[in-house]
Amino acid sequence: MPTPPSARLPAVRPPKQDRTRESWQRILETGLELLETGGWEALTVSEVCRRCGISAPSLYARVDGRNGLFYAVYEYGMVRVASTQAQLAESVRPGEGLETAARRATEAMLETFERHGALLRAVILRASVDAEFRGRGAIESRIALRGVFEHVPGKRTAVEAAGRTVFSECVVRIIYGADFFTGDPESSEQFVDRLTTLIVGAVTAAGPPIEGEDWPVRQERMGQ
């Protein structure tokens, strides 16, 4: 059985004492700022040490090199992303009509990307050249997709496919800009209107839900 992506990523050794935990928090905040403003290239051990006033050996005691630092900062930032997504996904309630649920799910996905665009842009670009990290991101993306779209009514395969389209378009939007496909910026409202129409059409065309049908994509848990 292949080793799961999370097991192959560098280890992080968080501190246990209050004083060192405060220092570690500064490291993570500094690293997140560097990652969001300059991407992978800006997130270096030397720059984090310089800004935090610490030595490289003290940082290496917590992470395995630069890759370990990136992973630690990624984990730290993605907790915030997951919290935002979970909060916004609460607007998609079971039992609502298809159009309302599709609109709210699309809004939740888009707003998550917009609120955390700088971080998500950096990690998506890094995943494009790092196969191990890409495997981890793929699992988390599938979990995120289900978390937002699982209460949209309709045949599960159709809802999942429509949700993947929304997710993919959000990725394109934060990487290449809101004008990538049309040449003119598409507002958030226009984006939501267009994709809501797409979801309603696709899910309606697929026919009524199948009793007992589960979400079609396997839902891994991190670390398994």
Q: Spell out the CATH class of 5-205.
A: mainly alpha
Token pair in block for residue 38: 């300059």
Mark the ranges of the chain whose per-residue pLDDT is less than 50.
1-7, 221-224
End-to-end, the C-alpha distance of the chain in Å comes to 11
Domain boundaries, the chain: 5-205
Helices 156-176, 131-149: crossing angle, 10 deg rounding: 120
Contact 145, 163 (CB under 8 A): yes
Task: Count helices and strands (H / E) in the chain.
Answer: 10, 0
